[in-house]
Amino acid sequence: MDYLPIFLKISQQPCLVVGGGQVAKRKVTLLLKAHAKVTVLAPEILSELKTQVLAAGGQILECAYHAHYLAQQRLVIAATDDESLNQQVFNDCELANIPVNVVDAPALCRFIFPSIIDRSPVVIAISSSGQSPVLARLLRTRLESIIPAAYGQLAAFVGKFRLEVQRQLPDTPNRRAFWEKELQGRFAELVYNGRYDAAEQHLAQALATHQQHAGEVYLVGAGPGDPDLLTFKALRLMQQADVVVYDRLVSQPILDLCRRDADMIYVGKARASHAVPQEDINQLLVRLAQEGKRVCRLKGGDPFIFGRGGEEIEELAAAGIAFQVVPGITAASGCSAYAGIPLTHRDYAQSVRFVTGHLKDGTPNLPWSELVHERQTLVLYMGLVGLAEIANQLIANGMRPDMPVALVSHGTRPNQQIVTGEIATIAEKVQASGIKAPTLTIIGDVVKLQDKLAWFGQK
């Protein structure tokens, strides 16, 4: 982040605006909405700006700028068309450690004004870090249409009862679960419809009958890496979980979408290097849920395709823990789509088979003869290290040496790489490329389409 997003409480605090034109007027309007004590300083000031400031109890100074006017100011805005004056205001504020904004000059700003959606007391701020104010405004317009004005009424109503709910439900996770339920149920609907007495009665009854939230586990497929491939349900559960238990294949942009105050527990597993053994992960999920926490077990791809999700829910079921399973886009679908390789095609493949490329005790452990089929696409997960042995075994069991192969590294992510070749020589090409795990290997004539279709799938 180039800027730290914060909300400043400037009610009845002195704020200085240097400039007296239309730009200054727009900034003054925002400051007055936040009930600031505004002083406007400029040799010439618009009459309507004077009226606006004086009516709000502010001060008008029709004179030239001097640094001594910065004394006691909480923040300063320079809104003039004089670049040298704007620079001087910025320099003086820097010396005085006063936050300063120079309009339309991001390099001279210690804070910037975002696009604002005002549903007071709910306020949503959108910023492009000064790079594209028009884009920020377009985003604001889109959000304005989907955020009802009644959200502000709901927030204000909740504020009246916040301390009472906190007193009766001192446990933070339990209290959070209470509010999440009520803010998405009948209580919220009553407030939206202006039935405040009924809403108050409902809230009192809900508080009196509320029980300690039972722990639950959400087994969520995070997909192959692109956060745009998450399902709506996955995102919702990620946002409400108290704890997120995640593995190595979950990308950072997806982790950034989890609730910010959730506890993050890494249990990543790489080949021959398990941060936490699977048995310990199973027990961890049970323990956290038994503590009454909502646990998001975030797994790369789909939990039930080489994700060992079945083992985890077996343990949860045996312990009587409630759980939900949210499918994710498996790596085979995501990587092939982004690489421009259809897994099936009327002219090339009428079936597709998924297998794991892990080798047991250093030796192949796959039904090789079943995997060799002329009109079938073969997809190998985690096959990078054993690629040479896999290729040799497939050829030895009848696969033609010129069968097309594609190896996709970090599929669907910005650093996606693709190496294509033939099964007889793919291991050498991959080694020379320096490609890194995680990878997915696609074997079959459908790979011939990659050159033609890749530009559709590449981001």
Average pLDDT, 10 consecutive residues per value, the chain (459 residues): 90 97 96 97 96 96 96 97 96 97 93 90 89 88 86 91 91 85 89 91 90 86 95 93 94 94 86 73 95 94 93 95 95 94 94 82 76 94 90 95 96 94 95 92 95 63
Residue 309 lies in a domain: yes
Q: Do residue 21 and residue 103 come from a single domain?
A: yes
Residue 61 lies in a domain: yes
How many CB atoms lie under 10 A from the CB of residue 349? 21
Residue 273: which domain range? 216-329
Residue 132 lies in a domain: no
Alpha carbon distance 63, 66 (integer Å): 9
Is 356 a known ligand-binding residue?
no
State the alpha helices, DSSP H only, in 62-132. Answer: 83-96
Q: Do residue 288 and residue 308 come from a single domain?
A: yes
Q: Do residue 253 and residue 360 come from a single domain?
A: no
Q: Do residue 421 and residue 350 come from a single domain?
A: yes
The CATH code of the domain that includes 56 is 3.40.50.720
Name the strand (E) or helix (H) holding 220. strand 216-221
Q: Do residue 396 and residue 380 come from a single domain?
A: yes
Which one of the listed residues 269, 429, 445, 448 is annotated catalytic? 269
Alpha carbon distance 73, 64 (integer Å): 17
Is 242 a known ligand-binding residue?
no
Q: Do residue 305 and residue 365 come from a single domain?
A: no
The CATH code of the domain that includes 372 is 3.30.950.10
Indicate the number of domains in the chain.
4
- Residues 194/149, Cβ–Cβ less than 8 Å: no
- Which residue has tokens 């639950």? 216
Which one of the listed residues 226, 247, 293, 299 is annotated catalytic? 247
Instruction: Reply yes or no on whether 247 is catalytic.
Output: yes
Residue 378 lies in a domain: yes
Residue 140 lies in a domain: no
Which residues pair with residue 442 across a beta bridge? Answer: 379, 406
Q: Do residue 109 and residue 161 come from a single domain?
A: no
Instruction: Reply yes or no on whether 104 is catalytic.
Output: no
CA 390 to chain centre: 37
Residue 134 lies in a domain: no
What is the pLDDT, as a whole number, of residue 459? 43
Q: Do residue 186 and residue 225 come from a single domain?
A: no
Q: Do residue 98 and residue 166 come from a single domain?
A: no
Is 382 a known ligand-binding residue?
yes
- First-to-last C-alpha distance (Å) of the chain: 23
- Residues 125/115, Cβ–Cβ less than 8 Å: yes
Q: Do residue 315 and residue 431 come from a single domain?
A: no
Q: Do residue 343 and residue 449 come from a single domain?
A: yes
Is 234 a known ligand-binding residue?
no
Alpha carbon distance 229, 117 (integer Å): 27
What DSSP state is assigned to residue 328? Answer: -
Is 44 a known ligand-binding residue?
yes
Q: Do residue 275 and residue 205 come from a single domain?
A: no
Q: Final residue of a domain: which of 314, 329, 344?
A: 329
- Residues 246/265, Cβ–Cβ less than 8 Å: yes
Is 305 a known ligand-binding residue?
yes
Of 285, 295, 302, 177, whose CA–CA distance to 231 is shortest? Answer: 302
* Structural tokens at position 125: 């701020």
pTM for the model: 0.74
Residue 5 lies in a domain: no
How does 253-266 read in b/e, with b if 16+ C-beta sit within 10 Å?
A: ebbeebbeebeebe
What is the pLDDT, as a whole number, of residue 456? 47
Q: Final residue of a domain: which of 287, 314, 329?
A: 329
Residue 145 lies in a domain: no
Please report the sign of the dihedral spanned by the C-alpha atoms of residue 229, residue 232, residue 234, residue 238: positive
Q: Final residue of a domain: which of 312, 329, 346?
A: 329
The CATH code of the domain that includes 258 is 3.40.1010.10
Amino acid at 44: E
